[in-house]
Structure 1
Amino acid sequence: MAPGGPTVRLLPNAITVLAMCAGLSAVYFATTGRWGAAIASIGMAAVFDGLDGRIARLLDATSKMGAELDSLADAISFGVAPALVIYVWKFQPYREGWVVALIFAVCMVLRLARFNTLLDVEQPPYAKEFFVGVPAPAGGLLLLLPLIVDEQVGDTGWWSNRWVVAVWTVGVALLLVSRVPTLSVKTIKVPPRAVAPLLVLVGLLAAAVITFPLVALIAAMLLYLAHVPYSIRRYRWLARHPEAWSVPAADRRAIKRAHGVAARRLGLRRPLGGRVAGAAMRAVRRPRRGVDPTQVAAETNGQPGAGKRRGWRQIGLRRHHRP
């Protein structure tokens, strides 16, 4: 069978359908009170979602139908299903809770629509390393974080308060539709010497997920939230340095070090406190026409500038009052 044939094209779409079924199964488990199974179903949907696109590109089996099916499955598995799970767990039968669930589902659909739109928009080369906002699988799992903590701890705490869960749901929904850049795992490249340690780390993570699944999920979600400030900083740095857009990571580190050394050599430091810094700031804020920089420096040190007469107060004389 040639690459991209009918049988090959069926495999990625079948995985996408499995992801959608896993997401919908989470709703079923939530209605029967099996919260652990509901969390596992959303997790399985995230795993399937990460596989279908990679397999489609690997087999050269991408298609327009597959892209549309993937967006529909993401909207159901990470938008509708987690919102219903949270509603059944904490908000039922409050009407305000249903509004909160609707807000999350709508924001998820808007996030996916914007993602599809940005695929046709020309962007800088570095933009492919980031998502605009939190991606759909991460958003669905982040929404379930209070439920995961509640299942792990086994005791009701502040994290399971209805109003706290409502604020958390709206906050995650805003992250979905925000412009906050988040790292894309798809573009991360690993040097050859780091492959073996990384595989060992993957094995340890798999063992942790199998042995302590809820703890591993909590740690993963907290690490994901902690990476957001780094992602914002990296995005802004790349936007200011076009020379680093298409170079390997090692060259980017060299560019950063070079810029740091250049900044230190040029004396680009924070303003020093005290009289000198204060006088300099006043000179900048209230510039005077025709003032020589050497004259400003002399005045800062308490000396008269060149060509300037000393005032009657500076030479210790009193001003004579006319009768």
Structure 2
Amino acid sequence: MNAEKNLISRRGIYLLPNLFTTGALFSGFYAITSAMDGRYETAAIAIFVAMILDGLDGRVARLTNTQSEFGAQYDSLSDMVAFGVAPALVMYLWAFYSLGRLGLFAAFVHTAGAALRLARFNTQIETADKRYFQGLPSPAAAAILAGFIWISIEHGYDVSMLKYLAVILTISTGLLMVSNFRYSSFKQIDFKRRVPFFVSIAIMLGIAFIMAQPQTMLFLLFLGYAISGPIITLVGRKRKLQGRKG
């Protein structure tokens, strides 16, 4: 730790990847302030912007060979704000304010789940299977809540009719983050290799669908990803049992 501090004091920090991390942190902060002003749709979009920036900082660091322990820790703190605190507070202000302690409990479960998920990820990063995440990643959990808010506002749904569904959804994302379900990391996909032409057509169509109805498609996309974890885990366990019997 002291060596890392001395290294930072002598050489400073890498600017480019940390700019993206700072942008993600600001987007999470902006989501909170927007919700406090009653601009919930803007708050939901800000969380998705934070997701994009969070996805870019690590890739930029690897491409420019500017990875550092400082950057990794800063990224985790940014994730905690953007994907732990921000979606929980936005959801609380939008749907839970009238529920009293139940609303506080639901929002805290998501926040605590994100904190525990990030702590576990940081301590297991050297030993974990790179093909899978253990527990639902915090950006995906935040996207489910942000997408639910966005789609509800877009279609004019009455929040008073949805608040208990929102409670279930928020508690579920918190619990899934600390679960032992395995989620694909998609790191095994080689974006540099050649693919059949129809694959590029399918990708373009997928992007077109998302752009046409972003609030609906993003919510369904990340909800499907959340459901995939239990399915992948159960299928894997079933295969292991069949292998032992065989």
Q: TM-score with structure 1 length normalisation? A: 0.65
**Partner amino acid for 1:153?**
H
Matches within 5 A, 1:197-212: 197-212=198-213
**What does residue range 188-267 of structure 1 map to in structure 2 within 5 Å?**
188-189=189-190, 192-194=193-195, 196-233=197-234, 235-236=236-237
Unaligned ranges ≥5, structure 2 = 1-10
Provide the rounded CA distance (Å) in 1 between the counterparts of 2:241 and 2:65.
35
Task: Identify the residue that residue 125 of structure 2 maps to in structure 1.
Answer: 119
Counterpart Cα distance in 2 of 1:8 and 1:65: 8
Counterpart secondary structure, 2:187: helix
The superposition leaves residues 30-61 of structure 1 with CA deviations (integer Å, 9 ceiling, x where unpaired) of 12222221111110111111111111111110
Q: Which residue of 2 aligns with 1:83?
A: 88
Residue aligning to 1:169: 170
In structure 2, give the amino acid aligned to 1:182.
Answer: Y
Q: Identify the residue that residue 102 of structure 1 maps to in structure 2.
A: 108
CA distance in 1, matches of 2:29, 2:188: 30
Structure 1 residue 172 displacement after superposition: 1.1
Q: Deviations over 1:166-216 (max 9, x none)?
A: 122111110010000011022223694526444433333333333322122
Are the counterparts in 2 of residues 42 and 141 from structure 1 also a CA contact under 8 Å? Answer: yes
Give distance in 1, aligned partners of 2:17 and 2:73.
12
Aligned-pair identity (%): 32
1:223-261 Cα offsets, whole Å, 9 max, x none, are 3134234422564478689xxxxxxxxxxxxxxxxx9xx
Mapped to 2, the partners of 1:151 and 1:81 lie a distance apart of 18
| Cα distance in 1 for residues equivalent to 2:167 and 2:178 | 17
Instruction: For 2:12 and 2:213, locate their aligned partners in 1 and report how far apart those are by CA, in whole Å.
Output: 38
Q: Give the AA of the match of 2:80.
A: A
Distance (whole Å) between structure 2 residues aligned to residue 83 and residue 74 of structure 1: 13
Gaps of 5+ in 1: 1-5, 242-258, 269-323
The yes-or-no answer on 1:51 pairing with 2:56 is: yes
Q: Secondary structure at the match of 1:33?
A: coil
3-state SS of paired residue (1:128): coil
Q: Name the structure 2 match of 1:36.
A: 41
The 1:198–1:70 alpha-carbon spacing in structure 2 relative to 1, beyond 3 Å, is: farther
1:133 aligns with 2:139: no
Say which SS state the counterpart of residue 180 (structure 2) adopts: coil
The CA distance in 1 between the partners of 2:186 and 2:234, in whole Å, is 17
Separation in 1, partners of 2:226, 2:105: 25
Provide the rounded CA distance (Å) in 1 between the counterparts of 2:40 and 2:159. 17
Q: What amino acid does structure 2 have at the position aligned with 1:73?
A: S
Aligned partner letter, 1:210? M
Matches of 1:205 and 1:19, distance apart in 2: 25
Please give the alpha-carbon distance, in whole angstroms, between the structure 2 residues aligned to 1:137 and 1:68: 16
Residues 239, 74 of structure 1: CA spacing in aligned structure 2 closer, same or farther, 3 A cutoff? farther
Query: Kindly tell me: are residues 195 and 60 of structure 1, through their superposed partners in 2, closer, same or farther at Cα, counting changes over 3 Å?
Result: farther
Size of the aligned set, in residue pairs, is 234
Answer 1 or 2: higher relative contact order, Cα 8 Å, separation at least 6.
2
Equivalent position SS for 1:194: coil
Q: What is the TM-score of this pair, normalised by structure 2?
A: 0.83
